[in-house]
Amino acid sequence: MPDDHSILEIDCEHVILQISNYIDGEIDANLRARMEAHVRGCKHCSAILDGTNNTLRLLADGKTLELPPGFSERLRLRLAAHINHK
């Protein structure tokens, strides 16, 4: 399908839902490319991605961080598991 928005546009909610998989590299190349394109064009999501990286660091320090609305409990658990594997 050659129409631009089938390829380009995923919405913020989709990015947030997939962000832990994105960080873990557990998404396919197509979705990854779409997320990267979205994050480049979306200050909101690029801030969330930065915040998620900060969260990983904070958890590693044994601190907790209040996650922004939209972060699921699943992500919280995945982030914790991510640290525990180190």
Give CA 26 to chain center in angstroms. Answer: 11
Which of 16, 19, 35, 45 lies at the binding interface for Zn ion (CB under 5 A)? 45
Site for Zn ion (CB under 5 A): how many residues?
A: 4
Among 17, 31, 37, 42, binds Zn ion (CB under 5 A): 42
CB of 38 to Zn ion, least distance (A): 6
In terms of residues, how long is the chain?
86
Residue 49 interacting with Zn ion (CB under 5 A): no
Pairwise CA distance, residues 54 & 35, whole Å: 19
Residue in this structure with the two tokens 């998620």, named with its chain if needed: 52
Provide the binding-site residues for Zn ion, judged by CB under 5 A.
12, 42, 44-45
